Structure 1
Amino acid sequence: MSSKHATPEKRPSMNPGGVTGSGPEPGLMVVQWEPMIPEDYAGPDFKYIVRYKAKGETEWTEEPVNKNKNKFEVRSDVLFQEYDIEVVSENAVGRSTATPESVTGFSGESEPTAAPSDVKVDVLNSDTIEISWTDVPADSVNGKIQGYRAYYSIVIAANSEEMYECNASPCIVAGLQPFSTYSLQLAVFNGKGAGPKSDPEEFIMPEGKPSAVNDLEVKASSDRILATWEKPDNPNGVLTGYDLIHERMMGLVVENNITIEIPDPDQTRQIIENLKPDTKYKITVKARTSAGAGEKVWAETSTRPEGKPVVPAKPVFKEIGTVSMNVSYELPLEGPGADYISIKYYKKGEDKSKAKTTETIDIFEEDAIHVKNLSPNTKYLFQVIAKNDDGSTPGEWDEAKTIGTGAQAAGFKVEAWFVILIVIIILLLLILLIICVLKSQKGGKYNVSDKEQQLKGDIESTPLKDEGGFEEFQPRDGNLDDNAPLTQGSHPSLNESEAGSSETDSVKEYAEGGTGKFNEEGSFIGQYGDRKTRPPDEGQDGAAYSTFV
């Protein structure tokens, strides 16, 4: 049978550890600690007592905290207020017998509100400066100063700002771009962030030594070397030229070190002459500014053996025209090398003795020869001749044909024919359109009374027989006699009607479509009028005189 034993109650013998006080936001301090295990409570009603006082004060503020919590918040109107902090354990018997650990804590920080003043920049060399300033007032820091940030950028370069952190004045900043104008601003920063920047300070970095040239290449003949390169990416000033150094390599021994000064910064090629055949050389190039020579770049090559040039390959034909073409060449990479090239050529079918030779070119200066004064549409034979100080060597003949004059005009003829066809089609369409417009206007309606007015106004100048009417009445002796017979040429319809004819017949004929006595409007106005008896001022109503029915 087991028995229970009760542990006597007593005060705690320890206090919580890991006490801290930090400010996650302005005016707030959070006190935290590591919670104690129940076995260390040593009695009932266990709790924590948080004690704190602002720096410089004598009275402590105490706050009880439930045993299940391990943090407590302290509010303050002062930014980055410094506090002394203690956390003590307590139960129903009393407080801990252990002496609490006192730590320092701070309420939350805020960004600084003042910028450094009296900022000065001293240029030490082409890429280094020294910055000095007057510190900001302590009450404007709103926290703990962690340092100063120097923001600098090249004035004419977008997105070039860089930042360097300084601990105190003065501060050395290196690695700037030579021969550039900079703008610099300074700001103090704490745990919350950086404050306002100072007014910009501009300064100019002096010229520096240039960076290395780019793409150095070397090509050799028997006694010459051609070196080519590109300008440096960062001249760091105004380029004043280049230094080219060639050295003869005899195993591991360097002999005959010679420097060629090139004063033109735009010259990026140099021919080195009078070299020893079949020898290894080291070529070094450095760019220069007023600050001196920059980084060096070097390449190695060997000159070709002595002797007449090796037989060149067949010519290469480029840009063939009607009367000219460009002829290039390919030279062997082994054996004695050529320094110069010329082209020999003649018309196919002619005697080879009539062959012509072009001017001689330097292989380090040009890579093709322009052969001119050729005949169109003609085959020619060409030959490359390689030369050096030891002699010349001809290559194999090869054939090429100039372009005929018709070949160049063919495209134009086809184009002209096409344009003519388009013009003809457009004209036919225009003619068809005009015909359609005319047909749409034919048979249009017009006012009958307007037509009669036109006939009335022009009746004396237009013979009736021309309008499809009757001939004019002519009396036999010039005197009008009602009983006298009509002249031979008059129509009998006025005096002697056809058998069976009558007024009714005339109306019937009109109704049935007879148009022999009427115009296309169905009117006979003006067809029977007697211009000799019509009053001259009578023109408003032609029907009053124009019918004899």
Structure 2
Amino acid sequence: MSTIFIVLCLPANLTLYGHARTACFACYLSFDEDRNSHKSLTDHPVSINNKGENVEEVWYFIGESVNGVSLLWRSDANVLGLKNGEAKFMCIFAGKATPDIVWKRKGGKMNSRMEVSEHGQELIIKDLEFADKGEYECSATNDVTSTPVVATFTLQVEARPYFVKEPLDVTIGVEENTEFFCMVEGIPASDVNWFINGQPINEAPPNPRRTIQKDRLVFKNVTDGDSQVIQCKASNKHGSLMADVYLNVLALKALVTEGPGKVKVAEGNSVTLKCEHNGKPDPALKWMKNNVQPLNTDRYEFTHNTVLIKDVLKKDNGKYTCISSNRFGSDNKTGELIVRKKTKVTLRPVERSLAYGEGAIFNCLATSDPSEQQFLEKLWYKNGERINNNDDDGNIQILENGDTLSIVKTSSKDSANYSCVADNKVDSDTGISQLKVKAPPDPPRDLTIKTCGNLKVTLFWRPGFDNYLPISNYVIYSKTNYDNAYKKMNELLGDVNEYEQRLSAFANYTFKIKARNQLGESVFSNITPICSTKAAIPEQHPTNVRIIENKTRKLVIEWDPVEPIDQNGPGFMYVIITQDKAGNKSSYQVTDWKTTRKEIDVGNIYKEYKVQVKAVNSKGEAAIPPLIYRGHSGMGVPTVVPGNFEVDPDAPYTHETIGLRWDTVDMSAEAMQGKFDGYKIRYWHMDQPDKEEKEEEATVESKIRRTVRLPPNSDLQLDVVARNTYFDSNGSNKINITTPEGVPGPVQSLESMYRSGHFVKIKWEKPKEENGEIIGYDIEYEEIIGLGVDKKSIPVQSEPEWVAERNRYELGVPGLELNTNYRIKVWAKTRTGRGEIEFVDVKTAPENMPTVPYILDALPAKTSINVSWQINKGDVAGYHYFVEYRKYGEHKFESGPLEKRNTWSVINNLTSGSSYEVKVVAESGNFKARSEIKLVTTAKTDEVASAVYNAEWFIIMMVVLALLILILFIVCLVKRSRGDKYHVQEKEKLRGLENDEKKTAQYNGFNDKMATWDFDELGVSFFKLKKLVIVDKVLVVPDDYDKGPLESDKDSLEEYADPDPSRFNEDGSFIGQYGAEKMTASDVAAPSAMHTFV
């Protein structure tokens, strides 16, 4: 082992382990016989004279002198290696910037067996070959030394002896010849010696039948006494090797161990008959057919144990005997050859070309020799591999005993050669077809990084299979250590397989590629190894720098972030430089790259500043000078207020617009505390002054006039303010106005409920913006012709029905044509006029089968049954409906009256206490749809009273009466607590209710006068329950309150021109016929307190 002792002394500006310049440190480099290095650096100062023992060399290095690259140490220049062994070379370089070391082979290329150590100081060649000999060099450079410092090595490769052809054991018969080979190579050349039975050949007993010929030992005409052990030994200076073999001499009679047997073959094929035999010396073999005819024509080919019969004919049927013989005797065996007709594929699969996703079918039929037909089977192969039924999860199916191969849904992987093999165990025939599936291409193969350096990368790949459509493009994707996913980098034409891309500094890149043809993209290729780039200064400074002036007495600066991939190095930060008008500069640092806003306290309002934002990292700042941006510190509240705000008497004053005017203000930056940005009109409802103000911008003029749009039918208060970009001044004097009633907005939730051939039922809700008192609705419809509509609009004369429990209106539109498109238009109206239009397009049904009715309920009385049914949204309604009924057990159904409007029907004149089967029939032209049968039993006499008490209408009426009594009690308490009286007559007069408009309420003699209550104190504006009606806060009991529910016609609907039903409740309920009408109080939406001019 050799050792080098290195002493390193530090320069004045460098410390190591905390020691100053005078300190020196020792480094031992020792090398064993295999040139493996061992290093040790002390961490304490040592004396320069302390060199230690067993040290062969001492090198001193003074820190101040090390700047460029220098060669500290190298291993031997001449290296000898052995074949299949290792060779090592080492160079140690020094430099103030760590040197980059490169190993090269002169006149040749480095290969995969040549490895460079982690730090580049050592080259190791494994599994040496003779071709590795030659010259190798290491070179080093750094930022100071641009000319490489080079060390050269010469490698010689030699070898221990090795066999090129070694001797083998031999068994022969007497009087035969043989030879043993001992071919050996090595560098230097090897000496070869023979041994017989362990003795050198020149010392063994002489044998005239044995001779040495170069690298062979030859025996001729041997006897049974020549059996012996033979050895071959080769050696050179690097080692030796030896082989032991045996010569075995025998004398055996010829013996046939296996005859031809029974063999089947098809016409036209070739067949080989085998006859295994042995003996020593080797016996001769001959063949006979049917024991009389020797085989000796050109149709036969013989080996030592076989005969090949070519192009077999039917006449080749027969017995075949093989006869083996030598000098010691003979032996034979007989077999049989059976010739069959050839198997043929008569219907072969045809070539197919199709798009992926389509199905493919191949057919195959075949014939065979009748004697072998039972064994015939058809096998399918894909590119030579056997296909099994239901392969590919059932996508590939073999049908009809192998006659058909079906691929249910093809993909690119199904492109292949498909073979149908008809096989009967004697012979076979094959039909081959090719399937070409046009599909997106296969992914590119073997994607590699060809070069990586100098902020550039070159990618190389091999095209994948195009799946029978040309590759049009390659799409390059990249990912860095800053990304969570791959991103598209570029798109190339399909005729290239190499791509160069510029990279960002200080990043680790990987890449993958997709190929594309006209049917789509491939899956991704393999992912490349990492390509790393070194740190550099940022490419550019932050962009989109803004100075925001919305913070009073602050300078607010914003910019777009510099993403990590663009920072180009560690230690990234933003540096903000500001300069006021006096030239005073300030600098600020922001070290978090995600922070893109800086607020600086400046203590002034709307003063001009210059601003620069720089990108800086550990390598420096971006080379391009940063742009200078100009702006101001934050604005404040304007100090001026508009004056003389009033209604403009010269402008029109309608429900839509009003004219306003006011005096202008001082627009200077000092007065406005910023940049003047116009005026703003604010308004709010008088009854909600605390709500958020709505506003509208006005123009900038010396004497301001402005026409604005205000919410109609409202009591409003207004003022005007001056504003800069971010702040409003104090408000001007306030003015109060009352806007006239306007027109309403569009109705809400307009849609079709259901339809028939001549009838459509629609529904809607009140407008969100009533803008006054809704006095009604206009409904029109028009036929849609092509892409337009008929100019003729037909008004609907029927009034809509208010469905209180659903807070909406419903209306049937009759008189329509079959299977026709219509547009139905709805307007809400106030006294001012129509509001905004809303419409719904609907198509009437053709004359076909209506929707089967659904029986909602069947309520029995003593001698009648009230049957109701339901028509749902989207149903095709019938032309009319009727009920079929029969007594349980009878055969014939009877029909009830036709119903064209109602969704209920009463069947009268029934027997009390009897069971009836009922069903509802919807009829439209020749079509009838019948519901399921429902079994109902009429009430007995003593059950009627019980039925009344249990009826829904009766229970609801009792609840309502209880609520009315409770309300009356509360009113009395309130009136008593106030200590005054309630004057009904005065209230009625105030509300305009004259005596002749009142109705007297009579109910079983309970009271013969009008019953009225005031609900002002309870906040009730509109309320309707059963037959009791509260209108304008006055409860009115109608004259017909005492009528029974079956006599009420409240829910009967007027006839329309079209006989279809038009005023159904949404659920088709007929409850109103048996109970008083139910309606709940509708909430009156309070108008918004504040609005925005539009």
TM-score, structure 2 normalization: 0.25
Structure 1 or 2: more helix by fraction: 1
Structure 1 or 2: more strand by fraction: 2
Larger radius of gyration: 1
TM-score, structure 1 normalization: 0.45
